[in-house]
C-alpha cells in the first residue's frame, strides 16, 4: 500500500464521477487486473434498524490503526424523488478527524439489491488510492438481498434480539451467505436466546470438510470487548481465505456481477430514452432497435 498522504479531494471527485457515470462510460474504461494487494473488504449487512452504522463506527475505530481505512455506506434512495438522506455519517461522528480514514455515503439509486449504482468501480478506486481496508455498509436488507456477498471478502450479518421472524424469513437467503453472525444490542433482553436460535440453524447446515463455519457473536456499542471479539473473528476469516487461496473465486464472481449490472443499467438507459412510438412497435422490432442503441451497432437484417 502507498505511504503517500490521502488526497481526499481527488478521491472524492473520482467517486463522484464514477457515481454519475453511464453504463457506456463505465464499459469504455480500460480493463485492469485486480490489485494483487488490494484492500481487504468487509461487508456489514442486516435488516433495517439493526444498528449497522453504530456497530460499524466502533469496529472502524478498533481497526483504524491497521492502515488506511475507507467506509462506503449505502443509504436507500427514494423511488419517487431519487434523493437519499445519506445520514449514516451522522452516526459515525466519533470517526471524524482521523487522517487516514475516509467515509463516503452513497445513495442506492436504481439498485434493489442493497448496494449502489457503479459500486464495483468505486471499490476498485479505493484500491487505487492505497486503502488497506474498506468497510461496506449496505442498506437495510431482506431475504434475497445478498449481492454484497461477492463484493466483499468477509460478510457480517447484523441481527437484533427478538427478531426471530426475521431470521426465519432470511433462513433460505442471506443467512446462508454470511461469514459471521452478530446479535447486536446484546444488552437487551432476548439476545442470548437469539444467538442460540442462530446457532441451532447453523448446526443443521451442512459444511464441506475444511469449510468456514460462521461464528455467532454477541455485540454492543457499550461493550468494547464485544467489538474486539468481532474484529478478531474478521481476522480469522481473512486468514482462512488467504490460506485457501479463495480470493480468486471472489474476483471472478465480482467480474460477473459487474458485467450483469452494466447490462442492466444500459438496458434501463435505453428504455428511458425511447418515445411512445418505440413502445407501439412490435416486440421483436423494439428488441432489435434496443440492441442497436445499447451496443452502438446495427442489428442484422432478417433473411
Confidence grade of residue 82 (pLDDT, cut at 50, 70, 90): very low
What CA–CA distance (Å, rounded) separates 46 from 141? 6
Confidence grade of residue 216 (pLDDT, cut at 50, 70, 90): very high
What CA–CA distance (Å, rounded) separates 235 from 231? 6
pTM over 0.85: no
Pull the grid cell for residue 171: 433462513
Confidence grade of residue 84 (pLDDT, cut at 50, 70, 90): very low
Measure CA 229 to chain center: 22
Contact 182, 159 (CB under 8 A): yes
What CA–CA distance (Å, rounded) separates 41 from 134? 5
Round the average pLDDT of the chain to a whole number and report it.
Answer: 79
What CA–CA distance (Å, rounded) separates 254 from 147? 10
Q: Which of 4-8, 196-200, 234-238, 269-273 has the lowest mean pLDDT?
A: 269-273
Confidence grade of residue 303 (pLDDT, cut at 50, 70, 90): very low
Q: What is the pLDDT of residue 273?
A: 76
Between these two residues, 156 and 5, which has the higher pLDDT value? 156
Contact 191, 216 (CB under 8 A): no
Domain range list for the chain: 8-247, 256-295
Q: Residue 209: left (phi > 0), alpha (psi -120 to 50), or beta?
A: beta
> Rounded mean pLDDT of 104-121?
77
Whether residue 226 has pLDDT greater than 90: yes
Q: CA-based diameter of the chain, in Å? A: 72
Contact 6, 118 (CB under 8 A): no
Q: Which of 92-101, 149-158, 227-236 has the lowest mean pLDDT?
A: 92-101
What CA–CA distance (Å, rounded) separates 176 from 170? 8
Is 8-247 in CATH node 2.40.420.20?
no
Amino acid at each position: 500500500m502507498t505511504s503517500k498522504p490521502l488526497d481526499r479531494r481527488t478521491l472524492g471527485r473520482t467517486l463522484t464521477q464514477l457515481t454519475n457515470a453511464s453504463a457506456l462510460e463505465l464499459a469504455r474504461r480500460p480493463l485492469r487486473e485486480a490489485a494483487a494487494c488490494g484492500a481487504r473488504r468487509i461487508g456489514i449487512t442486516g435488516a433495517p434498524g439493526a444498528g449497522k452504522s453504530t456497530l460499524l463506527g466502533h469496529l472502524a475505530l478498533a481497526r483504524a490503526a491497521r492502515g488506511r481505512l475507507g467506509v462506503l455506506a449505502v443509504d436507500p434512495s427514494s423511488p419517487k424523488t431519487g434523493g437519499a438522506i445519506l445520514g449514516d455519517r451522522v452516526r459515525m461522528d466519533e470517526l471524524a478527524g482521523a487522517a487516514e480514514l475516509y467515509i463516503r455515503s452513497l445513495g442506492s439509486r436504481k439498485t434493489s439489491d442493497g448496494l449502489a449504482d457503479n459500486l464495483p468501480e468505486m471499490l476498485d478506486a479505493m484500491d487505487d488510492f492505497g486503502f488497506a481496508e474498506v468497510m461496506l455498509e449496505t442498506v437495510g436488507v431482506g431475504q434475497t438481498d445478498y449481492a454484497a456477498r461477492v463484493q466483499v471478502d468477509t460478510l457480517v450479518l447484523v441481527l437484533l434480539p427478538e427478531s426471530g421472524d426475521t431470521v426465519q424469513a432470511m433462513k433460505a437467503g442471506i443467512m446462508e451467505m454470511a461469514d459471521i453472525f452478530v446479535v447486536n444490542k446484546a444488552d437487551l433482553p432476548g439476545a442470548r436466546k437469539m444467538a442460540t436460535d442462530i446457532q441451532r440453524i447453523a448446526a443443521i447446515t451442512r459444511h464441506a470438510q475444511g469449510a468456514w463455519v460462521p461464528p455467532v457473536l454477541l455485540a454492543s456499542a457499550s461493550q468494547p470487548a464485544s467489538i474486539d471479539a468481532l474484529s478478531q473473528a474478521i481476522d480469522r476469516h481473512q486468514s482462512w481465505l488467504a490460506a485457501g487461496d479463495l480470493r480468486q473465486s471472489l474476483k471472478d464472481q465480482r467480474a460477473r456481477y459487474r458485467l450483469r449490472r452494466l447490462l442492466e443499467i444500459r438496458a434501463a438507459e435505453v428504455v428511458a430514452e425511447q418515445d411512445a412510438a418505440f413502445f407501439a412497435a412490435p416486440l421483436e422490432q423494439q428488441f432489435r432497435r434496443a440492441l442497436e442503441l445499447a451496443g452502438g451497432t446495427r442489428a442484422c437484417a432478417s433473411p
